[in-house]
Amino acid sequence: MDSKILLQVIDFTAQGLEFIGVAVIAIGFIYAGFRSLRHYRQKRPNAYDSLKVSIGKALQLGLEFLIAADIISTVTVEPTREKIVSLALLIVVRTFLSWSIAVEIEGCWPWQVASKRKD
């Protein structure tokens, strides 16, 4: 396979993953909103908690797709030190966001979830 075609396929894959990541977040927000509204109308006591968990899960899944797209797109360009450092910082920021979302959903650090569920 020609290297130019391979780079185009890799770039297209990265763009597709970015699109999927954004779509997952957008659809997740819409779904969580409608679901929370339904719970609120039914006078369920945990409508807010349900909304928070649904949005958090959509954000986490979307972030995973976006991280994968960033990693793949870094492969298509010449891997300079600046681009690798930029990718590393982006992954650190997105990982921090993912962890903070997990803490918000679970109410504890990700490595404490198993012991919390036993209680």
CA distance linking residue 5 with residue 83, whole number of Å: 22
- Mean pLDDT, range 48-75, rounded to an integer: 87
Give yes or no for a contact between 51 and 74, defined as CB atoms under 8 angstroms apart. no
- Mean pLDDT, range 76-99, rounded to an integer: 82
Which is higher by pLDDT, 74 or 85?
85
Percent of the chain with pLDDT over 70: 92
pLDDT value of position 85: 87
Give yes or no for a contact between 63 and 34, defined as CB atoms under 8 angstroms apart. no
Residue 32's pLDDT band, with cuts at 50, 70 and 90, is very high
Token pair for residue 78? 């010449």
Number of domains in the chain: 1
Which is higher by pLDDT, 23 or 105?
23
pLDDT value of position 21: 95
- Mean pLDDT, range 27-45, rounded to an integer: 88
pLDDT value of position 81: 85
Domain range for 13: 3-118
